[in-house]
Structure 1
Amino acid sequence: MIKFFRRVRQRLLTDNKFSKYLIYAIGEIILVVIGILLALSLNNWKEDLANQGEEERILSGLKQEFEINLAEIIRNIKLNTGTKESTIALILQIRSEDPFANSRYIDSLLNEVYMFGSFDAQTGLVNEVISSGKLSIIRDSELRDRLTAVSGLLDNLEEDYVIRSDYYMYHIIPYTSKYFSLVNQNNFMDFSSWSDTYETFKLNESPFKPKYEEIDLLLFENLIATHKLNNDFVNLDEYDLKKFYMQTLEIINANLESEK
């Protein structure tokens, strides 16, 4: 009987020792897991901080890029609005009783019809963000969508620029060259919209007389009316792009404000 109790006691001691080892091992595992989780949390925290810093840098760059583009598109809208107004004035002059009574006025209108502008957008940072895969750093989904959409708007505008320019160069210039002294437009040329310092050399008026009597007024009106229409599409695209830039800047500014 004594031997039996001794064996039971020995077993209990052995089982107790094993339980202690088991508890110790489980504790070690738990500590390792906690350590891994803490390391992952710290790494994620550092990564989040880095992404927040990168997002702020991207947003600040986008703000500058969009502000430059907005200012430039506003400048072009002004130029192309002037072109539209000059085409209307020229059409009204063509329809008047004596269209070419004032040759200087005609020359000034022909010059203004030509002084249309085109917009060359800055897209360096937008392209970098998209091509580098950094688009995901921007948390605002609407802003991400806008950054991917801007290229489509610019492509559409560029297409209308080409249509307008090609039509003017291949149809209006060849026609007006037959009947007008185009060199006289030089007296009304103004490059201040492009440069603060450049000054063009003013040529004397042409010694050659224009051939007003040979002009087909209907054809002339149609040419200018088509140029007006082409310019209207440009104006429409530019107004849409101006609105797009303004709305996107509001979103960018709101995101920058939330970063503070």
Structure 2
Amino acid sequence: MKSYIFYAIGEIFLVMIGILIALQVNNWNEKRKELNLANNILGQLQTTIANDTLVLNSQLIMFENMITETRWVIEQFENDAPYSPRMDTSLAVISAFSITEADYTAFNYLENVGIGIIEDQELRDQISTYYAHSKLMQQVDEYFEVNKYFRQVIYPKFFKRYRYGRYVKPVDYQALKISDEFRVVVDMCLNDASYYRSMINAQKERASEILTAINRKLNL
């Protein structure tokens, strides 16, 4: 009788051990699936943010050019310089700007899955901040309407020929130089372009930090 009891206890013990092992294996498999999914999403984020960086670089060049040309125009006006052919392209460039938002495809997927799948809290915060600032940049672009004002008011009023971002021809260059309205708008363009340049440089830095962190994660 005792041997039967010991045998039964042993069987129960083995069954319990088997269940615990099965649960452990199942947990391990689930963890592995989550890790694979997290790494897959990080890989997608790595690709999209790297592509975003190329766009940011292009936009930075655009704003640097705008700042250069706007300062040159202001300098010409302040020095009462005579008309020069460069003025036609410079005046076309100074208001031709826009902001391109980040690619949200991978981030939207991450949000649908649950951002908590990325265990690194600092990396989660960096990613969330990066995309939040992308939306902020777009909102600022919609708020700063100086380029729209140029197209709808300034160009029709002061120019006889106009190709947005490429070429303009003033109706009266002398009148343009002394126009307070035009000078105020040009100053606004310079301020806006400088602000955008600052925002883009900061966003590039965020992107660089995220890409470094993701690369380190994926190569552990």
In the superposition, the TM-score normalised over structure 1's length comes to 0.76
Between the two proteins, the alignment pairs up a number of residues equal to: 219
Worse-superposed segment, 32-41 or 229-238: 229-238
Match of residue 143, structure 2, among 137, 143, 163: 163
Per-residue Cα deviation, 1:121-162 (whole angstroms, up to 9, x for no partner): 1110111111222x2332222211222222320122112212
1:231 aligns with 2:210: no
Shift of residue 213 of structure 1?
4.1
Match of residue 136, structure 1, among 95, 116, 127: 116
Alignment gaps of 5+ in structure 2: none
Q: Distance in 2 between matches of 1:154 and 1:131?
A: 19
> What residue is the counterpart of 1:106 in the other structure?
87
Q: Distance in 2 between matches of 1:223 and 1:33?
A: 79
User: Where in structure 2 are the equivalents of 1:39-188 lying within 5 Å?
Assistant: 39-98=22-81, 101-133=82-114, 135-164=115-144, 166-170=145-149, 173-183=152-162
Q: Which amino acid aligns with 1:178?
A: K
Q: Distance in 2 between matches of 1:62 and 1:171?
A: 37
Q: Which amino acid aligns with 2:171?
A: P
- What CA RMSD, in Å, does the superposition of the two structures yield over aligned residues? 2.3
Q: Distance in 1 between matches of 2:132 and 2:40?
A: 25
Match of 1:181, SS state, is strand
> What residue is the counterpart of 1:211 in the other structure?
172
Q: Which amino acid aligns with 2:149?
A: Y
Shift of residue 53 of structure 1?
2.1
Alignment gaps of 5+ in structure 1: 1-16, 191-204
> What residue is the counterpart of 2:182 in the other structure?
220
Q: Distance in 1 between matches of 2:8 and 2:93?
A: 88
Match of residue 208, structure 2, among 246, 251, 255: 246
State which structure, 1 or 2, has the greater radius of gyration over its C-alpha atoms. 1
Q: Which amino acid aligns with 1:45?
A: W
**Percent of aligned positions with the same letter in both sequences?**
22
Q: Distance in 2 between matches of 1:88 and 1:254?
A: 42
Contact kept, 8 Å, 1:66 with 1:249, in 2: the verdict is yes
Contact kept, 8 Å, 1:160 with 1:233, in 2: the verdict is no
Shift of residue 117 of structure 1?
3.9
Per-residue Cα deviation, 1:227-254 (whole angstroms, up to 9, x for no partner): 1112222111111110000110000000
Contact kept, 8 Å, 1:156 with 1:237, in 2: the verdict is no
Q: Distance in 1 between matches of 2:139 and 2:217?
A: 33
> What residue is the counterpart of 1:22 in the other structure?
5
Q: Distance in 1 between matches of 2:69 and 2:22?
A: 69
In the superposition, the TM-score normalised over structure 2's length comes to 0.88
Q: Distance in 2 between matches of 1:180 and 1:247?
A: 45
Runs of 4+ in 1 over 6 A off after TM superposition: none
Q: Which amino acid aligns with 2:92?
A: N
Q: Which amino acid aligns with 1:80?
A: F
Q: Distance in 2 between matches of 1:136 and 1:175?
A: 50
Per-residue Cα deviation, 1:48-68 (whole angstroms, up to 9, x for no partner): 222232222222211111110
Q: Which amino acid aligns with 2:200?
A: E
Q: Distance in 2 between matches of 1:115 and 1:169?
A: 9
Match of 2:94, SS state, is helix
